[in-house]
A and B are shown apart, each in its own frame.
Chain A
Amino acid sequence: MRIVVLAKYVPDPQGTPRLGDDLLLVREGAEGALDPGDEYPLEAGLRLVERDGGEVVVVSMGPEGAAAGVRRALSMGADRGVLVTDPALRGADALVTARVLAAAVRRVGFDLLLAGVESTDGSTGTVPMAVAELLGVPSATFARRLDVADGTLRIERQTEAGYDVVECPLPALATVTAGATEPRYPTLKGIMQAKQKPLEQLSAADLGLAAEDLVPTQRVTAVEDAPQKGPGEVVRGGDGVARIVELLAEAKVI
Chain B
Amino acid sequence: MAGVWVYAEVGPQGLHPTALELTTKARALGDEVVAVALGPGATEAAGPLGEHGAATVFAGDDPVFADHLGQPAAHALARLVEEHRPDLFLFPTTYDARDVAGRLQARLGSTLLSNATDVLGPDRARMEIMGGTKIVEVELGGPPPRLVLVRPKSFPPEPSGGSARIVPVPADVPEEARGARRVERHQEAASGPKLEEARVVVAGGRGLQDPSNFRLLEDLARAIGHAAVGASRAVVDAGWVPYSYQIGQTGKTVRPEVYIAVGISGATQHLVGMKRAKRIVAINRDPEAPIFKVADLGVVGDALEIVPGLVREIEARKG
Query: Contacts of A139 on B, CB cut-off 8 Å?
Result: 69-71, 99, 103, 179-180
A10 located at the interface, meaning its Cβ lies under 8 Å from any Cβ of chain B in the complex = no
Kindly state the interface size class of chain B when it binds its partner.
35 or more
Within 8 A of B (CB), among A215-254: 217-226, 228-229, 231-238, 240-245, 247-248, 251-254
| Given the contacts A132-B103, A139-B69, A141-B70, A226 and B140 also touching, CB distance less than 8 Å | no
Does A64 belong to the interface (CB within 8 Å)? no
Find out whether the CB atom of B184 lies under 8 angstroms from the CB atom of A165: yes
A94-B105, A167-B180, A241-B310 given as contacts; is B134 within 8 A of A224 (CB)?
yes
User: What are the interface flags for B245-260 relative to A under an 8 Å C-beta threshold, 1 for contact and 0 otherwise?
Assistant: 0000110100001101
Chain B: which residue is nearest A217 at the CB level?
A: B142
Minimum CB distance partner of B94 in chain A: A160
Q: Is the interface of A mostly helix, strand, loop or mixed?
A: mixed
Q: Do the beta carbons of A222 and B137 come within 8 Å of each other?
A: yes
CA A19 to CA B258, docked complex, whole Å: 34
Contact A247 B149 (CB under 8 A): no
Residues of A within 8 Å of B185, CB to CB, are 159, 162, 164
Classify chain A: how many residues form its interface, as a range. 35 or more
| A247 partner, pick from B94, B258, B300, beta carbons under 8 A | B258
Q: By the criterion CB–CB under 8 Å, are A165 and B69 in contact?
A: no
Residues from 232 to 265 in B contacting A, C-beta threshold 8 Å: 233, 236-239, 242-244, 249-250, 252, 257-258, 260
A166 at the interface (CB under 8 A from B): yes
Q: Does B214 contact A (CB under 8 A)?
A: no
Do A178 and B103 contact each other (CB < 8 Å), given the known contacts A125-B98, A226-B132, A247-B279?
no
What CA separation (Å) do A141 and B74 show in the bound complex? 15
Task: Assess whether B250 is in contact with A126, with CB atoms less than 8 Å apart.
Answer: no
- Chain B CB within 10 Å, residue with most, of A93, A172, A244: A244
- Mark interface residues in A153-176 (1 if CB within 8 Å of B CB, else 0): 000011111111111110010000
Query: Complex formed: what's the CA distance from A16 to B15 in Å?
Result: 40
Could you tell me if A235 and B180 are in contact, using CB atoms closer than 8 angstroms?
no
Q: Are A240 and B306 in contact (CB under 8 A)?
A: yes
A220 CB contact (under 8 Å) in B11, B128, B138, B225: B138
Kindly state the separation between the CA atoms of A252 and B278 in the bound complex, as whole angstroms. Answer: 12
Measured in the bound complex, the distance between the Cα atoms of B278 and A99 in whole Å is 42
Smallest CB-CB A-B distances: 10 pairs: A138-B179, A129-B102, A217-B142, A240-B299, A126-B102, A179-B237, A162-B188, A133-B106, A217-B111, A165-B184
Given A235-B299, A251-B279, output 11 extra A-B contacts at Cβ < 8 Å: A125-B93, A125-B102, A129-B102, A136-B176, A157-B69, A162-B244, A166-B180, A178-B250, A218-B113, A220-B136, A233-B297
Q: Which residues of A contact B (CB under 8 A)?
A: 17, 19, 23, 93-95, 98, 117-118, 122-134, 136-142, 144, 157-169, 172, 177-179, 217-226, 228-229, 231-238, 240-245, 247-248, 251-254
